Amino acid sequence: MNYENQLLSLIKNALAEDIGDGDHSTLSCIDASTMGKAVLKIKEDGVLAGVEVAKIIFNYLEPDATFNFYKQDGEQMKFGEIAFDVKAKVHTILQAERLVLNTMQRMSGIATLTKQYTDKLKGYTTKLLDTRKTTPNFRLLEKAAVKIGGGLNHRFGLYDMIMLKDNHIDYCGGIERAINKAYDYVQAQQLNIKIEVETRNLEDVKKVLAVGKVDRIMLDNFT
């Protein structure tokens, strides 16, 4: 499934979780045809992330909603600035509001922190990678926020890279055996995925270098 389809699925499920059988607060007191305008005002300095997603959320609920960008994803934001405004039915605005805010706040926080680290790496060839330790069902946008902040996505899930961690190595019976079996598996299955192996000490590193067959060595919790 590509990014667009994954995003639409995320939005659909998130709105269903929030709205359920109806936004009864809005349904009870606001006519369905009433039009309105909402403005997103920035309350903290940082790196903006999620504004493109916000537009998609509003247009998912109301394709004819008018969305105006004042800032773009990845731009520095300052307290008091306006990120966007949207003109739509009030029902649309109130149904989308919480999902938009939750998404942009979380993504902007991740992008801002990532940018702090990537700024420290300027001038070096070192790259900052993320992990699979993400919020369930929100990985797509958390990893997108890392990229907006200047980082790189490591692996997206269990399917797009072989990563031999300590548990795999211990259950398999050793680091050499795990590497050889993983390499043979990739060849037999004709998979176009990389192999990474986790090492716990320099002896492990020496063993991996002796065997070869891997694309990346992780130095796990080294001093």
What per-residue string of b and e applies to 74-96 under the rule 16 or more CB within 10 Å gives b?
eeebeeebebbebbbbbbbbbbb
Q: Is residue 137 part of a domain?
A: no
Catalytic residue among 12, 98, 177, 206: 98
Catalytic residue among 73, 142, 198, 204: 198
Q: Are residues 74 and 173 in the same domain?
A: no
- Decide if 133 is catalytic: yes
Q: End of a domain among 87, 102, 120?
A: 120
Q: Are residues 82 and 182 in the same domain?
A: no
Q: Are residues 106 and 13 in the same domain?
A: yes
Whole-number pLDDT of residue 1: 74
Q: Are residues 35 and 93 in the same domain?
A: yes
Count of structural domains within the chain: 2
Q: Are residues 96 and 199 in the same domain?
A: no
pLDDT in tens, the chain (223 residues): 799 999 999 999 999 999 999 999 999 999 999 999 999 999 999 999 999 999 999 999 999 999 999 999 999 999 999 999 999 999 999 999 999 999 999 999 999 999 999 999 999 999 999 999 999 999 999 999 999 999 999 999 999 999 999 999 999 999 999 999 999 999 999 999 999 999 999 999 999 999 999 999 999 989 8
Q: Is residue 152 part of a domain?
A: no
Domain span including residue 186: 162-219
- Return the closest-CA partner of residue 194 out of 167, 155, 221: 155
Q: Are residues 86 and 177 in the same domain?
A: no
Q: Which two tokens stand for residue 108?
A: 């902007």
Q: Is residue 146 part of a domain?
A: no
Catalytic residue among 166, 184, 203, 220: 220
Q: How far apart are CA 199 and CA 75, in angstroms?
A: 38
| Domain CATH number, residue 9 | 3.90.1170.20
| Domain CATH number, residue 185 | 3.20.20.70
Cα dihedral 54/59/62/67 (nearest 10): 70
Q: Is residue 105 part of a domain?
A: yes
- Decide if 122 is catalytic: no
Whole-number pLDDT of residue 223: 86
- Decide if 170 is catalytic: no
- Decide if 220 is catalytic: yes
Rounded to 5 degrees, φ, ψ at 172 are: -75, -30
Catalytic residue among 37, 78, 120, 165: 165
Looking up tokens 């994803």 gives 73
- Decide if 120 is catalytic: no
Which residues have C-beta within 8 Å of that of residue 10, sequence separation ≥ 6? 137, 138, 140, 141
Q: Are residues 40 and 106 in the same domain?
A: yes
